[in-house]
Amino acid sequence: MRVVVPPFHRFSTLFVSNVYLLDGGQGDRWLIDTGHWTERVQLVAELRRTNLQPSDLTGVLLTHRHSDHAGNAGYLQREFGVKIYAHRSDAEVLEGTAPRAQMGGKGHLLERALCAIENRWPSQVKIERALDAGDAIASLEVHHVPGHTEGSVFYRHANTGCLMTGDTLLTARPPLTIIQDIVKPYDAYSLDLKQAHASLDAFHAAGWAYENVLAGHGKPLVGNARDRVLKAWSE
């Protein structure tokens, strides 16, 4: 696990998607996302290497409901009593009280295959508290940016300028996210691409400041991130 910008740490042994630890000390330790269930062993092992047990976590904050981000939420809840939080719109899908839109039909063969896996093995979990835009939790602001999923969010940490962006703003190109780049929500995996882009544009138009992007895929973008993001999209 590597420090990005204190108090944020990035799990270094996970490949599928990024998981971050917000370590504010005892009673204030949060995961942002949980990774895919296929990397459960790595997730728990890396946490324990920091001398933390999963039961030491205050909670998990999900950026959105897809299984590469919420895939270990149910496990952490069942086995260690960890509390799970998500935006209301995704919480309803995760709990099964709202219909789950099927992914697929867009993109090339690999992208369609990944969507089929999501449809076959979606994440399901009981949400401790449904979040809404404007809420504050774990020293983070909740910003609703729907489109990638119904309840996709940004978490903004005003004190450090860190923005946790999930899949609504990436720092690597899908689907394998090996090539580093600044990428808007991606069509093959987004519920409503037009809405996702509009949400991102509205966030920037509102003037919210940030210095660092901690995305769901790709390396953290540290320093002058807002200007770098807007410049990349203007070229």
Say how many C-beta atoms besides its own lie within 10 A of residue 117's C-beta. Answer: 14
Q: State how far Cα 189 lies from the chain centre.
A: 14
Say if residue 209's pLDDT is above 90: yes
Both structure tokens of 188? 């093959």
Pairing of strands 162-166, 153-157: antiparallel
pLDDT tens for each residue of 99-115: 999 887 678 888 888 88
Share of the chain above pLDDT 70, in %: 99
pLDDT tens for each residue of 3-12: 999 999 999 9
Domains of the chain: 2-234 (3.60.15.10)
Mean pLDDT, all residues of the chain: 95
The whole-number average pLDDT for the span 216-222 is 97
Q: Rounded distance, CA 168 to CA 184, Å? A: 6
- What's the pTM value of the predicted model, to 2 decimals? 0.96
pLDDT tens for each residue of 44-94: 999 999 999 999 999 999 999 999 999 999 999 999 999 999 999 999 999
The whole-number average pLDDT for the span 137-149 is 97
Q: Rounded distance, CA 91 to CA 85, Å? A: 8
pLDDT tens for each residue of 145-186: 999 999 999 999 999 999 999 999 999 998 888 899 999 998
Nearest 5°: phi and psi at 67?
-70, -20
Q: Rounded distance, CA 210 to CA 227, Å? A: 9
Q: Rounded distance, CA 229 to CA 100, Å? A: 31
pLDDT of residue 45: 97
pLDDT of residue 178: 86
Handedness of CA 203, 184, 138, 9 (dihedral sign): negative
